[in-house]
Amino acid sequence: MEIDLRSDTVTRPSPAMREAMASALVGDDVYGDDPTVNSLEERVAELFGKEAALFTPTGSLANQLGIRTLVKPGEELLAETQSHIVRAELGAAAVFSGITTRTWPADRGILIAAEPMHVAHPNAGPYLVSTTAIAVENTHNFGGGSIQPLSEIRELRKQSQAVGIAMHLDGARIWNAHVESGVALADYGREFDTVSVCLSKGLGAPIGSLLLSTKARIGEARIWRKRYGAGMRQVGILAAAGHYALDHNIPLLKTDHARAKKMAEIIYKVAPSAINPTTVETNIVGLNLAAFSITAAELSAHCKESGILIGALGPKFARLVTHLDLTDEGIEIAANHIGAELQRTFVA
């Protein structure tokens, strides 16, 4: 039995989701004629209190389309040091949009409004780079699935709006934050000018994200989507998977969160320096291997030999992600195996 903990992107569409895809009404989306795409865009925009939405194949594209509507070439985007936009999107903001970035560090990626505002330099004149947008990631991937406090988001919105700085939400896993915190999606949405959300992670769709904003910004983003080569034709087949995910899979995220906590608790019992279970809020367990002689790549290789796949995202950082294709039995097997491997290599 293979137990894949590399990411929640590895999920496969269920038979019922495949049936929904097979029976989807379709049309040419480049012409705006795909009814299933159109209804998905309208549905998700309404969930977050936004005027319009744009279906994209990836979360990275949704992020990049969003920030380019907020930041002109040569202007500055602020993001947390370990954020997906600056760490995992391969410099796309600079390559495609001429956007410069600066970052601020935060423990587990958790937002404190004063920190980006201390870095921000709006309206810097002709000699320095002007900050025109701030990106917030919720949940924070490399922070271990941490949930951003709504109070800090609101405070950042208040302070940044007062000096003309826009805000973008990288909400790839906003569904996890919503389910665990109880904060309404619209309460998150109203604090940001642009929002990206993903359907192909915890919600189990095979592909698809959306960018949400005003009608004007989405109109601009639609042009750039086509310009980037991401205009899609009868893509209602994929949008139908998104509808199915929203209809059926959001409540299942609670199970993912409970399994991640359980996995962290099992590992903590034998390797307490690797993880603090109290910091595991959603479906991501980040293992700090600084006190162990093994590297993340070596741990990953050892686990793979036993049919357990994990992510090695740094020399001493491994990531475990729960999702709807896992079982309670698989979680226990994986956690016990990883714990034993770490206990064997403990050196501190």
Measured CA to CA, the distance from residue 176 to residue 197 in angstroms comes to 11
Measured CA to CA, the distance from residue 9 to residue 206 in angstroms comes to 8
Residue 9 has pLDDT above 90, yes or no: yes
Q: Identify whether the C-beta of residue 322 lies closer than 8 Å to the C-beta of residue 256.
A: yes
The pLDDT of residue 344 is: 86
Question: What are the C-alpha distances in Å from 219 to residues 54, 175, 189, 200, 222?
Answer: 9, 25, 19, 24, 5
Q: Per-domain residue ranges for the chain? A: 12-248, 252-344
The CATH architecture assigned to 12-248 reads 3-Layer(aba) Sandwich (3.40)
Does the domain spanning 252-344 belong to CATH 3.90.1150.10? yes
Q: Identify whether the C-beta of residue 41 lies closer than 8 Å to the C-beta of residue 56.
A: no
pTM: predicted TM-score of the whole model, two decimal places: 0.96
Residue 347 has pLDDT above 70, yes or no: no
Give the tens place of pLDDT for each residue, 23-80. 999 999 999 999 999 999 999 999 999 999 999 999 999 999 999 999 999 999 999 9
- Percent of the chain with pLDDT strictly greater than 90: 97
